[in-house]
Amino acid sequence: MTARIIDGKALSDQVKAQVSQRVDELKARGITPGLAVVLVGEDPASQVYVRNKAAACEKAGLHSRVIRLAADIGEEQLLDLVRDLNHDASVHGILVQLPLPKHMNSSKVIETIAAGKDVDGFHISNAGLLMTGQPLFRPCTPYGIMKMLESENVSLWGAEAVVVGASNIVGKPMAMLMLAAGATVTLCNSKTRDLGAQTRRADVLVVATGKPGMVTGDMIKPGAVVIDVGINRNEQGKLVGDVDFESARKVASAITPVPGGVGPMTIAMLLVNTLEAAERSAVQVPVTQ
């Protein structure tokens, strides 16, 4: 079997085109959806992510404001900035690019973002809403994966879903979304004994560990759908995922590539979340904190 390649780039283009249309409708009502992206320090990967997010916003007609702060800025200054953005009616979504410098408490910063503007979906209120089946903002990466599965007509109802990696931003919300869609979910971490025994049960396998090529073809059930979230650079400087693509594609029925799979969908869903925040603001009183 050679797996079908799930084209995240093409699907993200479709999603962005739909966003663009809804942005036009909102602009006609006098509202331009706005995203504020805060970048602290000069981490090279973060700079690329922030640039890509801002460019995607502009292209879809949203307004983006990138605020760059020195790495040694005090935490209180960052919190004050976030509070100002919470009260700024032209800003519908606020994103603080992670990781933050070590002297800052990331949880405290995220909890300071107004939950109604937390387009990353990392605020504890949004995590709780997702957990209890009433999501406001779904974290962008798992949300994008759900869209991919939907567009591939992969039914999660009664399916065995295995998620490898249990971070707050990918693995855990991924598990919650698939559970809500009717799957029986297994969530693995670095302590999981006999990982292959878990992954081989998966009809849908999502891998998000940051360990290049750690899931190999022999760990995959024939015909499974494999979603590779990992973004790593190998020794040759090439982007690779957490799944060994060459061995996996011989066993899976469908697989996401790296690059061109989950990555583009993450950005597309950030636009969706920002647009929806702006749409909600059109019918609600401003969010304050």
Q: Which residues bind ligand NDP (CB under 6 A)?
A: 141, 164-167, 169-171, 188-192, 195, 208-211, 214, 229-232, 262-263, 266
Q: In the bound complex, which residue of the shown chain has the CB atom lying closest to ligand NDP?
A: 167
- For 204: left if phi > 0, alpha if psi spans -120 to 50, otherwise beta; the answer is beta
Q: Compute the Cα dihedral for 181, 35, 78, 69 and give only its sign.
A: positive
Q: Which CB, 39 or 287, lies closer to ligand NDP? A: 39
Q: What is the largest CA-CA distance in the chain?
A: 56
Q: What is the DSSP letter of 217?
A: G
Catalytic residue of the set 97, 147, 172, 244: 97
Q: Which CB, 228 or 279, lies closer to ligand NDP? A: 228
Catalytic residue of the set 117, 118, 120, 228: 120
Tell the burial category of 239 from Cβ atoms under 10 Å away from its Cβ (0-12, 13-18, 19+): middle
Residue 203 near residue 159 (C-beta atoms within 8 A)? yes
How many CB atoms are closer than 10 A to CB 202? 24
Q: Which CB, 76 or 235, lies closer to ligand NDP? A: 235
Residue 88 CB, nearest approach to ligand NDP (Å):
27
Residue 261 near residue 228 (C-beta atoms within 8 A)? yes
Question: Whole-angstrom Cα distance, residue 279 to residue 289?
Answer: 20
Q: How far is CA 83 from the centre of its chain?
A: 24
Q: Which CB, 24 or 150, lies closer to ligand NDP? A: 150
Cα radius of gyration (the chain): 19
Residue 227 CB, nearest approach to ligand NDP (Å):
10
Helix, strand, coil tally for the chain in percent (to 5): 45, 15, 40
Residue 92 near residue 34 (C-beta atoms within 8 A)? yes
Residue 165 CB, nearest approach to ligand NDP (Å):
3
Q: Which CB, 102 or 191, lies closer to ligand NDP? A: 191
Residue 260 CB, nearest approach to ligand NDP (Å):
10
Residue 259 CB, nearest approach to ligand NDP (Å):
9
Residues 6+ apart with CB under 8 A from 238: none
Give the CA-trace dihedral at 132, 126, 64, 36, to 10 degrees.
180
Concerning whether 97 is annotated as a catalytic residue, the answer is: yes
Residue 263 CB, nearest approach to ligand NDP (Å):
4
Q: Which CB, 81 or 147, lies closer to ligand NDP? A: 147
Concerning whether 53 is annotated as a catalytic residue, the answer is: yes
As annotated, the active-site residues are 53, 97, 120
